[in-house]
């Protein structure tokens, strides 16, 4: 009989609505992911992700970046807070701050992010509008390990959606977000089952190095 893996501990960082956080909470509650969310941390007091955490009985912590004189001081405080929960995984779920290299290196190999583009295309902001302006035929989202390079860590999984003519930005964003809510919990499940690792700055799934675009879902 296979040995049961120990339940993993996750800390989630949010800045806003937290729809991806909710998808993760739901999959954990349905026992699709063998993990618990030990804390949700936000840098905005009105982030609805904090309310989602409270509704699920998860510690919800607000650390105001305006209380710190520098990005380094804020990230040091946040790292100390995260370390108190001794998590196996840190999940960025719409956390809208650029992290300092020291913070990223502290958690490297156990921090994931989801980005609304088919990386390496369109790092940074306004990805949906940029895809429309470029008349791309397809757009999507990428889950990747976090490294000091902004949106530059090894990609684990991508999901694509077509971009239609006369595409509205809000509509395209919603279709991408629907994919995000399916793919992010899946990648977290892989990590919590010890199937997914970052080795030598590459994403490795089931002992196989993934292609640079990750595992693609059409």
Q: Which residues are marked as active site? A: 115
| Continuous segment of H or E residues that includes residue 92 | strand 89-92
DSSP string for residues in the chain: -PPPPPPEEEEEEESS--HHHHHHHHHHHTTSSSEEEEEEEESSTT-HHHHHHHHTT--EEE--GGGSSSHHHHHHHHHHHHHTT--SEEEESS--SPPPHHHHHHHTTSEEEEESSSTTSS-SS-HHHHHHHTT-SEEEEEEEE--SSTT-SPEEEEEEEE--TT--HHHHHHHHHHHHHHHHHHHHHHHHTT-EEEETTEEEETTEEPPTT-EEE-
Between the alpha carbon of residue 159 and those of residues 24, 68, 174, 178, 214, the distances in Å are: 17, 37, 14, 10, 10
Which letter does DSSP use for residue 134 in this model? T
């Amino acid at each position: 009989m296979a040995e049961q893996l120990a339940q993993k501990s996750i800390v989630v960082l949010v800045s806003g609505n937290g729809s991806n956080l909710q998808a993760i909470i739901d999959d954990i509650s349905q026992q699709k992911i063998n993990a618990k969310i030990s804390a949700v941390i936000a840098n905005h007091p009105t982030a609805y992700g904090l309310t989602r955490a409270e509704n699920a009985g998860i510690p919800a912590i607000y650390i105001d970046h305006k209380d710190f004189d520098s990005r380094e001081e804020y990230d040091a405080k946040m790292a100390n807070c995260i370390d108190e929960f001794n998590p196996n995984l840190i999940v960025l779920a719409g956390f809208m701050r650029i992290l300092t290299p020291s913070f990223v290196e502290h958690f490297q190999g156990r921090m994931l992010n989801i980005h609304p583009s088919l990386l390496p295309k369109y790092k940074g902001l306004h990805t949906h509008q940029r895809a429309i302006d470029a008349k791309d035929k397809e757009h999507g989202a990428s889950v990747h390990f976090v490294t000091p390079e902004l949106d530059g860590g090894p990609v684990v999984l991508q999901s694509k959606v077509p971009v239609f003519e006369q595409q509205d930005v809000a509509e395209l964003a919603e279709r991408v977000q629907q994919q995000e809510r399916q793919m992010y919990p899946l990648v977290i499940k892989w990590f919590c089952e010890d199937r997914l690792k970052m080795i030598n700055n590459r994403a490795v799934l089931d002992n196989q190095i993934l292609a640079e675009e990750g595992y693609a879902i059409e």
